[in-house]
A and B are shown apart, each in its own frame.
Chain A
Amino acid sequence: MRHPVDARRPAIYLVVGVVLALGAALLGGPAATGAPAGPAPAPQAAAPAQPAPACTEVRESLRPRGPLPAPGAMPAGSTMAAIAQRGRLIAGVDQGKFLTGYRNSLTGTLEGSDIDVVHTIAKAIFGDPQRVQFVVLNIADRATALERDQVDVVVNNFTVTCERQRTVEFSAPYMPASQRLLVPLGSGIREVEDLGGRTVCTSLGSTTEVVLRDLGLQVETLPGIPDCVLEMQRGRVAAVSSDDVILAGLAAQDPNTRVVGRALDTARYAVGMRPDEPDLVRFVNGVLEAARADGSLAASNRFWYTGRLDPVPPPPPPVYRD
């Protein structure tokens, strides 16, 4: 028999309650916090272009046929007629190379020796040198822009190489260049041998990269030569290597640098076009011949490089494969 007064039942209620409550408190705790996913790492710059197998035989360009057609009267059915029909020449250029192809920030217009060549071609087609749409290209995108039909011509320190001739038909060269070094004043570097294992910087996908690697140097590649100069100003690379024409423009912007060293390589700049448009190539060669003959090509080079390159590069004489 049970006594009517008994602490057992209230105690059982409590014990059950406490057990359940403790369980709820432990399980319902703020434990369910998933680790938040961090932002995905920024994509890294593309790997440097692999140098293709050696290929040394550089083809010469195509000879102009007959006299140049008068501006505004392009032969029917020709590539030039299609450009005239469109109303503007689309040219792939650079806007960051002082003296060669750069944007004059005071006027907002593109200027430089390469830009002069574009205006000369536009003038020959339209009679108006300003009928141009400029498309700024990264060094590495020059050939691709032609392949993808984004531009009619590339005038952007485009060096003739046999490797590029697989996809690009070049005009006759309009300017010679030699690859040298840009170094800080007082760095003591006069030749590549003085680098002593320190890094030299050049642009991604350029011919200079191959030359530097063949010399066994420590090379860093960036999207453009100006990016390399920023790195050199910050002391992260010891020197910048590129064509003397380009380096002269950089030295002109930073008086604390100078162009030094022997010619590591020589190059010739030409207008890049599509191989399936030989009529345009012959036409542009005709335009360049006229510019050589009337001295306007040499005058343009003198205007941009006097006092900055010694000697001012003379337009090389044309050679054709016919």
Chain B
Amino acid sequence: MSLDLESTTRPPASGAGSGLRRRLRVLATGPTTPDRLRRVGAVLVLGCLLAGVFSLVDGSARTGAVRDGGTRIAAVHADAAEMYRSLADADAMATSGFVSGGQEPAQLRARYDRDIADTTARLVHAAGLLPADDPAAPAIAPISAQLPVYTGLVESARTLNRLGYPLGQSNLDSASRLMAREILPAADELRALQATALTDAFGRAASTPFAVLLIGLAALAAVVDAAVRERRRTQRVLSVGLTAAAAAVVVMLLWWVVATSVASGRLGDAERHSGVADTLDDARAAVLQARSNESLVLVARGGGAADTGFTTAIDGVLGTTTEPGLLAAAADAAEPATDDRIAAVRTAADEWRTAHRTLRELDDGGLYREAVASATGEDPGGSGAAFDRLGGVLGETIDAERAAFRAASDAAAAALTGLAVGPAVLALVAAAAAAYGIGQRAEEYR
């Protein structure tokens, strides 16, 4: 019996050009041993080639995904996170500049200018990396459309402020509202979309390669079975060709197992670092929000009641008795080596909260000028200086996590190097060896 069901029902072909067809029919249905052997050989070659094709397709998809995730998506993600930071920072600087009244301190103005320049550069960079049909592309539009409106309002506010007109304050409020309600949410959405895309890409690259392993094992089983049966039938040593084919398939399977398990470990590291960086980014956003609130309460002289915005934001970072807070979440997810850095961030945040409380006591006690001095950083023990220190430590920690992310994703990409081509070539070798091994045996019947 053989796989010849359809050939038996088909009428015999006739006429010219049917030589190839006749040979195929012999191969498919021929009753002699060499025919049967050739059939076995054809099945083995087909199996090895199939395994090669699967390996090529899957391997290309994985190396592509890890390259895309580690470079393009990670870059847009970093752009979005930095944009969020620089936008929130710009707003905090613009409002802080108004606290001192009259002339804006030069260093605040310079930092605002740098923030806007950074945002624009990141925007251009991210837009260039996003394909037009990317789901994240629409999130770019509100940022690029509203940023000039925002900066326009801030410039009007400055001009009117220098002229001594309170309409400047209205312009500033309007700008801050635009930032908080439209621009920052768009940057946040872009970041969230990229984080999801990154997880997807890494998930694709690191998943267990069931398809390749299954078909590879099937091909191996077929080759080994054929080799064992040939040996039993001919009562001779193992066929060299079939043994070589089996060895090639084994190496191919090992390559896959080792490469994907190494890459999977590295990608897990990469995702962990990226997640910690994201959590710390959220903490930084909350800190900037708290700073804007501190400034606005001083500028607007809203008094202690309006300070809840600061408390809510900083509690989200440091945690309360019931909520663990963002820093605790980051410390939980981070490697033990990062704990020291996060502890330093916590210390700096605690110091700022203390300095802020002192500032509020000054303002609520009627000492407005002293409160302003604390906020603007004139007083080295004040809130402004503590905020700058916190920003510095937080920034360093986030940069370190992003660098660790890049290192891990580079290592993952390195582990997958050659996975597309290497195992596929081995499968080709296995197919050739199987053909050779079976062909040798079939020749013996001449």
Contact mask A89-133 → B, CB, 8 Å, 1/0?
A: 010000111100011111110100000000000000000000111
Select from chain B the residue with minimum beta-carbon distance to A254: B167
Residues of B near A103 (CB, < 8 A) are 101, 166, 169, 299
Among A1-52, those with CB < 8 Å from B are 2-11, 13-14, 16-18, 20-22, 24-25, 28, 30, 32-34, 36-39, 42
The reply to whether A95 and B174 form a contact with Cβ atoms under 8 Å apart is no
Q: Is B385 an interface residue (CB 8 A)?
A: no
Q: Is B300 an interface residue (CB 8 A)?
A: yes
The reply to whether B196 and A9 form a contact with Cβ atoms under 8 Å apart is no
Q: Is A226 an interface residue (CB 8 A)?
A: yes
Chain B binding surface SS class: helix
Contacts known (A9-B225, A13-B225); A36 close to B196, Cβ less than 8 A: yes
Select from chain B the residue with minimum beta-carbon distance to A43: B181
A174 → chain B, closest Cβ, in Å?
21
Q: Is B155 an interface residue (CB 8 A)?
A: no
Contacts known (A6-B40, A18-B50, A105-B166); A136 close to B214, Cβ less than 8 A: no
Residues of B near A133 (CB, < 8 A) are 303, 364, 366, 368
The contact size tier of chain A is 35 or more
B406 → chain A, closest Cβ, in Å?
23
Residues of A near B303 (CB, < 8 A) are 90, 133, 135, 150
Q: Is A299 an interface residue (CB 8 A)?
A: no
Q: How far is the CA of A110 from the CA of B301 in the complex (A)?
A: 10
Among B184-219, those with CB < 8 Å from A are 185, 188-189, 192-193, 196, 200, 203-204, 207-208, 210-212, 214-219
Contacts known (A95-B300, A135-B301); A105 close to B168, Cβ less than 8 A: yes
Residues of A near B43 (CB, < 8 A) are 7, 10-11, 14
Q: How far is the CA of A108 from the CA of B299 in the complex (A)?
A: 9
Contact mask A145-183 → B, CB, 8 Å, 1/0?
A: 000101000000000000000000000000000000000
Contacts known (A17-B47, A39-B188, A95-B300); A230 close to B171, Cβ less than 8 A: yes
The reply to whether A28 and B233 form a contact with Cβ atoms under 8 Å apart is no
Residues of A near B217 (CB, < 8 A) are 17
The reply to whether A13 and B221 form a contact with Cβ atoms under 8 Å apart is yes
The reply to whether B167 and A98 form a contact with Cβ atoms under 8 Å apart is yes
Most buried by B among A30, A103, A104: A103
Residues of B near A21 (CB, < 8 A) are 54, 210-212, 214-215, 218
Residues of B near A16 (CB, < 8 A) are 218
A134 → chain B, closest Cβ, in Å?
5
Residues of A near B210 (CB, < 8 A) are 20-21, 24-25, 28
Identify 25 residue pairs between A and B in the complex whose beta-carbon atoms are under 8 Å apart, listed by A's number.
A2-B1, A3-B33, A6-B36, A7-B3, A10-B47, A11-B43, A13-B221, A14-B47, A14-B50, A17-B215, A25-B211, A28-B211, A30-B200, A39-B185, A42-B182, A90-B303, A98-B166, A103-B166, A108-B100, A135-B301, A135-B302, A136-B301, A226-B169, A227-B174, A250-B167
Other A-B pairs beyond A8-B3, A10-B43, A24-B210, 6, CB < 8 Å = A24-B214, A30-B204, A37-B192, A42-B185, A90-B303, A98-B165
